[in-house]
Amino acid sequence: MTGKPERMTGARAFVECLYRENVEVLFGYPGGVLLPIYDELYDAHLHHLLVRHEQAAVHAAEGYARATGKVGVCLATSGPGATNLVTGIANAYMDSIPLVAFTGQVPSSMLGNDAFQEANITGITMPITKHNYLVQDAKDLPRIIKEAFHIASTGRPGPVLIDMPKDVTTDEIDFVYPDKVELRGYKPTYKGNSQQIKRAASAIAKSKRPVIYAGGGVIGSDASKELLSFAEKIRAPVTTTLTGIGGFPNDNELYLGMPGMHGTKYANYAIQESDLLIAVGARFDDRVTGKLKSFAPNAKIIHIDIDPAEISKNITVDIPIVGDAKNILKSLLPHVSECDTKEWLDKIAIWKRDFPLHYINREDAIKPQYIIEQINEACPDAIIVTEVGQHQMWAAQYFKYKEPRTFITSGGLGTMGYGFPAAIGAKLGRPDKVVFDVSGDGSFQMNSQEMATIVQNDIPIIIALFNNGYLGMVRQWQALFFEHRYSHTTIEDSVDFVKLAEAYGALGIRVEKPSDVRPAIEKAIEANRPVILDFIVEREENVSPMVPAGAAINEILDLERTQ
């Protein structure tokens, strides 16, 4: 750096740091201790989006990060403002999303005194952040912000929290923004071990029944093209986890869909009969593996992951390769050739023919699956963001995703209320895309206050609301495993969603007949404004197929056929 450092307050330095990190959108909510920062934001050349609840700010930042690949940024005040971020931070941690969350804090002199709106947010978030900071001296703020963005976006991405006491924002410093980050002990491994890569190539060459199991790490490392080249070169079928959807084109002949509890039968059968499972940027979570002891019983397992802590955490791995998925797939490609998988692929083709995803359509009731198919036909390039529940699984099963970052959902934490604010972030990050929030009537009500945000800011999101008057997924489990005793899962007639939309100044359209589904979707797209499509769907439709909890994944039930 040349010249004399500029003298400025911590609040001004905060804004300067965001400029240096090329932050485009800051999702936030003000409060007393943040007033110095908000005063600086008044004149800043930075898009600050005022949400109506801090939880929405962090989910919107996540949605922005997932849609763009950039770091999402949110800001909340101390105490309850900070704790309202906790669910979203945990969500980002579980799904490995790059996020920097800033919180205000009471003045340093009052820390530990149970002051008004004091909460130990660094202590609270320690288990759910990749790293967190309590800034104790204003002069450290630029360095800490530089480090936070680096940590959030490198290695296995994740959330970083920076807690800023009020005096840190008012004290004056000589502003110097570091050119580089030096963190002792933090050196993510990006290149795989060459010997392990050769071992993996040898195992692939010997395999007759390989399956590629790809997760969100493929999208996070921008490895979709390499995955496609790899799968087509060795002629191996590909299944993607919930957060990996979009990482492999769904219309490719090698695609198997999602595995696990609500995956396709043929994906589960293929994993169970495989002799080699190649996991790429994927966790072996319980929704995928089912009964651990019965998972992929005959398969040798190769696990490619940037986080060594994931290796052999749930499933014993034969060939671990720690590193970035994109780099390792690139390294593997020259060492592999087409496998003798014709007989294997022929067998899978028969499974696909005999056990396709299916539902029984009706002319007198709207099937949720039909809505997803119609959205797909009307707008195949849309970004689909979901809440959590039955609609989430139908959106994963029936929309044909062709590109990464077009399916955004809460995978690990399963956060109801996530989708709508995440859709706001996705739309701000990708204004060129039509963005749908596929929602249940239960999930939507957890953050429906953000209608005010999208109307005030003219953010054209389409909420495709599957209104069945139930907390649908819980009801499904009560139907299957608790003798249809629907204990506290009925929410019918709780709100008129069309009037709700109109009350906020949005467009509300109620759809009660299958023949009106497609025209309503097209009208919503054409309107290019905030819309709620209130689809009155068949009330007790189940997500099928389904693996009961604790069962092996090939013990999968076709609910339509067993009812």
**Ranges of the chain whose pLDDT falls below 70:** 1-3, 560-563
Active site residue: 6, 116, 338, 492, which one? 116
At 563 the pLDDT is: 43
Q: Is 473 one of the catalytic residues?
A: yes
Does 368-536 match 7-174 at the fold level? yes
Please state, in angstroms and as integers, the Cα–Cα distance from residue 229 to each residue in 211, 223, 236, 401, 524, following that order. 15, 10, 11, 18, 37
Backbone φ, ψ for residue 185 (5° rounding): 85, -5
Q: Please report, as a single letter, which amino acid is at residue 521.
A: I
497 is catalytic: no
Domain-wise residue ranges, the chain: 7-174, 194-355, 368-536
- Examine the residue annotation and report whether 149 is marked as an active-site residue of this protein: no
- Full-model pTM: 0.96
Alpha carbons 249 and 271: distance in angstroms, whole number:
19
* Tokens read off for 157: 């991405």
Q: Is 393 a catalytic residue?
A: no
Q: Which residue has the tokens 């299957």?
A: 480
Asked whether the beta carbons of 462 and 525 are under 8 A apart, the reply is: yes
Given the residues 8, 110, 117, 523, select the one marked as catalytic: 117
Helices (H) and strands (E) in the chain, counts: 24, 20
pLDDT at position 322: 97
Catalytic residue of the set 94, 416, 473, 546:
473
- The CATH-assigned architecture of domain 194-355 is 3-Layer(aba) Sandwich (3.40)
Catalytic residue among 16, 21, 54, 62: 54
Is the separation of the CB atoms in 373 and 397 below 8 Å? no
Candidates 130, 146, 166, 326; catalytic one: 166
Does the annotation mark 117 as catalytic?
yes
Distance between CA 56 and CA 50 in Å, rounded?
A: 10
CATH for 7-174 (3.40.50.970, 3.30.2130.10, 3.30.360.10, 3.40.50.300): 3.40.50.970
CA distance 420 to 53: 12
Of the candidates 87, 75, 142, 150, the residue with the CA atom closest to the CA atom of residue 413: 87
pLDDT at 562: 43
Q: Phi and psi of 251, rounded to 5°? A: -90, 5
Q: Which CATH class is domain 368-536?
A: alpha beta
